[in-house]
Structures are given as C-alpha cells and as structure tokens.
Copies of this chain bind each other. A is one copy, B any other.
Amino acid sequence: MSKILAVGTLAFDELITPFGQSGRILGGSASYISIAAKKITGDVGIVSVIGYDFPDHYLQKFIDRQIDISGVEKLEHEKTFYWKGKYHNDLNRRDTLVTEVNALAHFNPVVPQHYKDAEFLMLGNLHPAIQQSVIDQMTRRPKLIALDTMNFWMDTAWDDLMTVLKNIDILIINDEEARQLSKDYSLVRAAKTIQKMGPKYVIIKKGEHGALLFHGKNIFFAPALPLEDVFDPTGAGDTFAGGFIGRLAKMNDIGFEAMKNAVICGSNLASFTVEKFGTERLENLTEVDIKKRLKDFINLTQFDIELA
C-alpha cells in the first residue's frame, strides 16, 4: 500500500453563500485532501499546523478515519488560521472578508520519520519555500510529487516558486492561476509553458467547467458533474487533488491512462464536496455513493462512435 503525505492547512472557515451561512467550521487544504484521499486508499498522513483553539473533536475526525496526524504541530500561543469569505450569487466568484494567518505564519513543517519515504506527496497551497522544505526532508524521492499554488505566491515569491516547480511532477492549479503563471490566455499554450518550468504533468481546474490534464501532446478532459445546485464550492479543488492522488496511490501507477482515471476520481469526489458546507458531505461519503456517481460520470462522458 503506497503512502500518501499531504501537507497543507488545517483551518477555520466561515462561509457565506446565497444559501446560508456556515458559521465557523473545519476547513483548510489538508482537511479536504486527506479526507478525500482516505476515501480512496489506505495510508494517508498530514503535516500541518494548528493553534490552541483548534477543537479536539476536529482532530478526532482525522483519527476516526485513521488519517495519521502525528505531523500536525500545535502552537500553544497562537490561534488557528481563519478565513471568512462570501460567495457571489453565481458562486463563481467570492470575496475574502477576513483572513487571520495566526499559527500559519509560524508553520515550519516537520515530516514524521515514518512518512519520509512516502511514495506520493501532495503539497497543498503554501509558500513555495515551505513546500520545498518538505521535499528536502524526504529520505527518498517520492514516486510522484504534486503541488498546488496560487496567484499570491506568483506575486510575492516568484523565485521560490520557480525553484520548487523544478522539483515536482505535477502542478494542479486553476485556470486563472495557469494564465498568470504562464502569462498566456490560451490554456493549451499555458500548459506547455508550465511544463517547461518543471512539472511534466499539468492539471488546470476550471471549476464548474471541469479539469484538463496535460502531458506532452496528450490532453484529457473531465467535466464537473452538472448539478442542480452547487451549495458551497469551498474545498472542491483540494478534494479533487485528494481524490486524484488517492487514486494514483491506490493503483500505484502514474502513467497517463492511470492519471485519466485519477482525474475522474478527483472530479467524482469534488462533486460531493460542493453539495454541503465544508467537509460535511465528504466525511459521510460511502463507497456506494462514489460508485454510483462514477456511473453518472461514465454516462455523462462516454460514447461509442465508429471511426471507420
């Protein structure tokens, strides 16, 4: 069984959508990535940081799911990272109302000994120098290193970002970020430019418009499942990443055909996350739910046409 190490945030989120307010709930990239990955495969550990106010019953969610939290550091004099945001009516745009970095400002990730040989490393959105420091701690080169980033690091830590990009296999970002990183509007050309920066694989997430996987001349596309209502898009991208890497680890295969299925798996799980606030829907997901939705994805996309 391949080990997955997920590095990212554990946080408080507070979300306002056209459908209601979440209050203060569990958020953070490490939450979504690890819970999603664990739905698919067996050995998942987190490296993250929390403050004194992070409730035990949130940690218990991970423990109950046999997600290894020995790499989660608790800072006794800091509060936990907190983000409050409000979505516009179409849910495609959101405004940040409050960001309190808190404990995250002091995050100095230490990879537990038993995860230094993890085969699959998922680096959630963090300062690229911090992401690099995790890679440097691995005692052997993981089979696959995936990384998420955001516009903020392109604006403030470009050189560090360029350094870490050279050391990863797959970059998972959204369309706006791909455009800023490549300075190109065309996503096809953006992916080519990004591949030259290091990662041989690039996934560009387009939110409700699906996700594109690029590798050399190969392109694969998975739509988002068309839903009657998207309730809360928060965490969909991290859920995608978790389902994606979970599937690769489960199959222990990083070829392009395996990646296609991993993209479908990520899209599958993400389609659940958006149905409720936060991690709620993801937490309660069963294998039967996932299988059933996989059939929906197959019906949605597969066709049988004669080529002759």
Contact = CB atoms under 8 A, between A and B. Distances in A.
Interface string A184-197: 01111100000000
Nearest to A91: B185
A209 B295 CA distance: 22
Interface size band for A = 35 or more
Given A212-B226, A228-B186, A305 B219 contact: no
Contacts of A221: 223, 226, 300-301
A141 interface: no
A185 B221 CA distance: 24
This protein's copies in its complex: 2
A56 interface: no
B206 A209 contact: yes
A227 interface: yes
B291 A228 contact: no
Given A186-B229, A188-B227, A264 B209 contact: no
Interface in A265-308: 291, 294-295, 298-305, 307
A257 interface: yes
A261 interface: yes
A89 interface: yes
A112 interface: no
A223 B223 contact: yes
A226 B291 CA distance: 29
Contacts of A264: 303, 305
A229 B305 CA distance: 27
A23 B90 CA distance: 38
Interface in A150-208: 185-189, 206
A305 B299 contact: no
Q: Which 10 pairs between the two chains have the least Cβ-Cβ distance?
A: A209-B209, A260-B303, A261-B305, A221-B223, A188-B228, A188-B226, A221-B300, A189-B228, A301-B301, A186-B228
Interface of A: 89-90, 185-189, 206, 209-210, 212, 218-221, 223, 226-229, 257, 260-261, 264, 291, 294-295, 298-305, 307
9 contacts: A188-B226, A212-B226, A218-B299, A220-B300, A221-B226, A257-B304, A260-B303, A264-B305, A291-B307
Given A220-B300, A257-B303, 18 more contacts: A188-B226, A206-B209, A209-B209, A209-B210, A210-B210, A212-B226, A218-B299, A220-B301, A220-B303, A221-B223, A221-B226, A221-B300, A223-B223, A257-B304, A261-B303, A261-B304, A295-B307, A302-B303
